[in-house]
Amino acid sequence: MSKVDKKLLKNTFFGLKKDNKYSILLTIWEALEQTRSNRKDKGEYMKAFLILEDGTVFEGKSIGTTRDMISEIVFNTSMTGYLEVLTDPSYAGQAVVMTYPLIGNYGMAEDDYETITPTIGALIVREYNDVPSNFRSESTLGKVMSTYKIPGIYGIDTRRLTRSIRDHGSQKVLLTDVKTPVEKGLNILAATALAHDSVARVSCQQTLVYPADTEKFHIVAIDCGIKMNIIRSLNARGCKVTCVPWNTPAEVIETLSPDGIFISNGPGDPTDVPQTITAIKKLIGKYPIFGICLGHQIISLAYGAKTYKLKFGHRGGNHPVKNLKTNKIEITSQNHSYAVDADSLLETPLSVTHINLLDQTVEGVVCERDRVFSVQYHPESAPGPQDSTYLFDQFITLIKEGCQHAERTDLKNTCHWFRSDCHRSGGGV
């Protein structure tokens, strides 16, 4: 609201008669009381408890649904973007601590969802705002969490909780609305194993097609939990995107005649998806390939490298990454528990292209011979900065160069990634 608007509103209000002022204030108060009442009816003011594996207990209030949940607890340092975090398939089964203290203040808008059905384990915040101020807001965070049966807790010391995760690493946590004795809670945590089928749960179950307004290229995306903004980013560059399930064989992918292959982000340990790794091994060298996050790890494993689990992972929108080719620093959005082992890359044809300046971990690799590259972070910027959107353009350039090569060497009839409509639409020109 501009200064002129504020002044006009102020003058209008104070220019009213006393009875009219009282009526307006009473209306506002009644609306707020109704909101509070609705929240109480939904159980959003019930007590909730967190029990960590190390025995630490946090007491707060419940938001969303009220049910017991055992998850791996992690933290995200983004100042905005709780909507995208809540709907990011890469958080499947995880309890996410938002380090920024105020959450919920701008509500929820479906156009910004990263997936149709959120699969996050739980959401943990310091202060929850159930009266959002945003013209795009369609619902409150608490209501959406209730709809999708996502438990949450607010009113706890998230700074203390985050320090605990940094000191002791990611660990299992029990979220409950019942004050469970610590010893009982620890026994429950010890007896419960975390799931290893998260990718299968968030991947599409059948082939899905996302057309572009002007189609120049055809990308087959192996869906390990793909974010919608990745699809939007490819669509905006003239790419029709065909999403296939995570375990689709290479032979089936080839029948779709793609111009390029994309491997998406996703939750969990990359070694849990050997079918995807096998498919990539067979596709390497036949198509330009681009991977993001879990896709980056899968590509590295396909070439024979190794991955390992970080102590508490990288999650946030402010991670500095150095591009070793340009020497420029990119501020990146990240969400991952695993990283590629740098030493293991020495025995592969992959070269490191990006490093994380916080801990020197590998953030990008390339094999120019095979036209394959990947990054650990999220250039689609949802949420987060847009420093790295050029990577999508880099992928398109690889596809165009492939079309040019096919045309020059008269391989139109044999090259898997050359299509005549690519040339007609301007690819390779």
pLDDT of residue 401: 87
| Residue range 160-173: mean pLDDT, rounded | 95
Q: Write out pLDDT tens, residues 120-143.
A: 999 999 999 999 999 999 999 999
Q: Write out pLDDT tens, residues 26-57.
A: 565 555 555 555 554 444 468 999 999 999 99
| Residue range 307-331: mean pLDDT, rounded | 96
Task: Of 81, 403, 410, 69, give the one whose Cα is nearest residue 216.
Answer: 403
pLDDT of residue 165: 96
Q: Which residues are catalytic?
A: 293, 378, 380
pLDDT of residue 295: 98
Assess whether pLDDT exceeds 60 at residue 118: yes
Q: How far apart are the first and last CA of the chain?
A: 48
pLDDT of residue 27: 63
120 within 8 A of 201, measured Cβ to Cβ: no
| Residue range 224-232: mean pLDDT, rounded | 98
- Which has the higher per-residue pLDDT, 342 or 402? 342
pLDDT of residue 413: 37
The percentage of the chain sitting over the pLDDT mark of 70, rounded to a whole number, equals 83
pLDDT of residue 318: 93
388 within 8 A of 332, measured Cβ to Cβ: yes
pLDDT of residue 382: 87
pLDDT tier for residue 411 given thresholds of 50, 70 and 90: very low
Element (H, E) at 408: helix 390-408
**What sections of 256-307 are H helices per DSSP?**
274-283, 294-302
In the DSSP assignment, the letter for residue 265 is -
Assess whether pLDDT exceeds 90 at residue 267: yes
Pairing of strands 94-98, 69-76: parallel
Beta strands in 299-423 (DSSP E): 307-323, 329-340, 351-356, 362-367, 372-375
Which domains are seen in the chain, by residue range?
47-194 (3.50.30.20), 199-424 (3.40.50.880)
245 within 8 A of 204, measured Cβ to Cβ: yes
59 within 8 A of 49, measured Cβ to Cβ: yes
Whether the bond into 151 is cis, omega within 30 of 0: no
User: Whole-model pTM?
Assistant: 0.85
> What average pLDDT does the chain have?
88
